[in-house]
Chains A and B, each alone.
Chain A
Amino acid sequence: MRERVIEQLKRLQHGSVNPQTDWEARNRALLLSQIKNTLPESLSIKSTERMWAGLSIFIPKPLVYNVVRPVAMLLIVVLVATTAYSGTVKASYETLPGDWLYPAKRGVEKTQAAVLSVIGNATSQTKLHVEFAKRRAAETKQIINSTDPDKAAKVGETVADLKDEMKSINSKLDENKSANVNFQATVAKDIKQNTEQIKNVLQDAKDNLALTPNVENKVLSQEISETKDLVKDVSVKAMEVLVTKHLEGDTSVSKEEVKKEISSALQTSVDDVGVSKQNVDGAKIILESMRGAVQDLKSEAQKQNNIDLVSSTKAFSDKVSTAANQTVAAVLKTEAVSVELDKKVNEANDFMNKDDLAQAVDKVREANQASKDAEKISDTAIEKTQTFLPIVQVIKDSSAATTTVQSIGKDLPPLIVTTTPVSAVSATPVVIPILLKN
């Protein structure tokens, strides 16, 4: 019965209850003409709005506007942020201070550090500072090797930043030592190895600066030396943490590896002292030969009764003699340091043989101090030698007109004084090539 009623109702949809076809067409035309009159002249629909409206054809409108659109926006922001991040980092990775992308690089680094300081642990934070320190060291080297007229300021900047990074690493290591922070011995090992690399890069930079001695470079060299000392200290501290962790039962680094690191640290100190010693020896030879040359010049002037020349060479001779004596003292000091260092290394080796790593690492600290002392002596000696170079040039010029002085260096190229510290492997005592013009 119900079905029959429904069937009857359905049949009503056919027939005269529908509009007449001609009215339908007329009404259509009329409607179109009416609505066309109400159309605005131009439509300015944003393409994004068009997109959301278009999307709502396929997805329910509330879902589009309340879910899809916010999620899409978030995705776009994340996408833009990450691609911009990676793009910037990639583009700015090789930049140096002064480049327009360098601030972006530093900005990203600071953001990373800030984020890690909130959500990261001590390990990740320390690793990040080590990575940044390596970058600063590499930048320093690059700038020094460049011909940038503004390199002094830029190196000052990178070295200052490097110092900050080293201080951060240092404080992390201190926290670790006080047992507030826990990171594995492997991290300490990484720090130790990376600081070694940084130290070498700084040494290269320092060598490069020594090739062109001037006031600016002297200041820079001083800055780098201080930073290098800090790097050495951090390296030793990392070594101490490594040993402490190992003794506390951290097996991430084996005893053999710890011993290897201790040996490597000791060897580094020995190499450093060796280089310092060679430099001081070189400076001594230069100044000795300079003293001899000036002495010859003085004798020649006396022979010729050239009063002016005698007095000027005498004053200079006195200064050179003083400097030469000081370098002789410096040589003695470095020899003493070297002897002392050998002793410490032997002691450290003895401790290691007895598996007394704590005592061995104490010797590493002492050896590090010795290498720092030796480097200071070396720096002073080199600096002293360099100050005499312009004066030597004057004497050379003045004596050229009056006399022939035979220096102890024979058949040597034009005046060159090499005081550049050289690596332990290739180091040969610095020669004293002074050729006072024939």
Chain B
Amino acid sequence: MSGTLQEKILLFKLQIEQDPEAFAALYDIYVKRIYRFVYFKVSSHEEAEDITSEVFLKAWHFLQEKKEVKSFSGLLYRVARNCIIDLYRRKAAKPETALSNFLEEALEIGDRGQWYADVGGKMEAQQIIEVLKKLKQEYREVVTLRYVDELEIDEIAEIVGKTKMAVRVTLHRAIKKIREILPEN
């Protein structure tokens, strides 16, 4: 995330020239990742789509205000996180969004069930989803960012607003917790 040369050039074009095409190119690079990041935290594809659109639009406005941006992906994740927090607040009165709900929904609706085969079977996927469901929000976030989105520690630290050491510790504890929860244990 700290930026490939391509991302930096696109960001330069975006900041200095406000080139919409550069923005479109960055959208192509990051839309899936942001969508996934959001999708793990909301209850449906619709919410994920709405929030992803909102994230990109907010990022554009942020750049237009000439605020300093170290990394475009970092910006997207931070904006996404804030959008999700806003969503949680709006839903505060409602029962907690169950990760399993949208994951199950995803399994059933999202990819037409194709990814079951990819993860090596429904049982195994369900197991890991169940485990994620049981994790604290803090643990779930770093685990998905690190292993699903495959971000570096420093990138995660930037997104969640913690030090790299704190992210490592959280990640270590999250994995430890997963191992405790998994049925084999």
Q: A5-B182, A10-B147, A16-B114 are in contact. Are A38 and B49 (CB under 8 A)?
A: no
Residue contact B31 to A57, C-beta cutoff 8 Å: no
Residue contact B128 to A8, C-beta cutoff 8 Å: yes
B163 within 8 A of A: no
Residues of chain B with a CB closer than 8 A to A50's CB? 16
Interface residues in chain A, defined as those with a beta carbon under 8 Å from any beta carbon in chain B: 1-2, 5-6, 8-20, 23-24, 27-28, 30-32, 34-36, 38-40, 43, 45, 49-50, 53-54, 56-58, 61
Interface secondary structure of A, over-half rule: helix
Choose from A11, A16, A49 the contact partner of B111 (Cβ within 8 Å): A16
B72 within 8 A of A: no
B68 within 8 A of A: yes
Q: What is the minimal beta-carbon distance from B56 to any residue of chain A, in angstroms?
A: 6
Per-position 1/0 for B49-60, Cβ under 8 A of A: 100110011001
Choose from A13, A28, A58 the contact partner of B27 (Cβ within 8 Å): A28
Q: A18-B35, A18-B36, A19-B32 are in contact. Are A27 and B49 (CB under 8 A)?
A: yes
Residues of chain A with a CB closer than 8 A to B147's CB? 6, 9-10
Interface size bracket, B side: 35 or more
Residues of chain A with a CB closer than 8 A to B182's CB? 1, 5
The distance in angstroms between the C-alpha atoms of A17 and B27, with both chains bound, is 17
Q: What is the minimal beta-carbon distance from B90 to any residue of chain A, in angstroms?
A: 21
Q: A5-B182, A27-B31 are in contact. Are A16 and B148 (CB under 8 A)?
A: no
The distance in angstroms between the C-alpha atoms of A151 and B87, with both chains bound, is 90
Per-position 1/0 for B85-110, Cβ under 8 A of A: 00000000000000000000011011
Residue contact B45 to A20, C-beta cutoff 8 Å: yes
Residue contact A9 to B144, C-beta cutoff 8 Å: yes
Q: A16-B110, A16-B111, A18-B111 are in contact. Are A27 and B119 (CB under 8 A)?
A: no
B136 within 8 A of A: no
Residue contact B18 to A43, C-beta cutoff 8 Å: yes
Residue contact A1 to B128, C-beta cutoff 8 Å: no
B159 within 8 A of A: no
B77 within 8 A of A: no
Residue contact A23 to B114, C-beta cutoff 8 Å: no
Chain A's closest residue to B28 (CB) is A28
Which residues of B107-128 are within 8 A (CB) of A?
107, 109-116, 118-120, 124-125, 127-128
Residues of chain A with a CB closer than 8 A to B5's CB? 57
The distance in angstroms between the C-alpha atoms of A49 and B12, with both chains bound, is 11
Choose from A15, A45, A56, A58 the contact partner of B115 (Cβ within 8 Å): A15
Residue contact B178 to A5, C-beta cutoff 8 Å: yes
Q: What is the minimal beta-carbon distance from A393 to any residue of chain B, in angstroms?
A: 84
Which residues of B17-66 are within 8 A (CB) of A?
17-18, 20, 23-24, 27-28, 31-32, 35-36, 39-40, 45, 48-49, 52-53, 56-57, 60-61, 64
B76 within 8 A of A: no
B15 within 8 A of A: yes
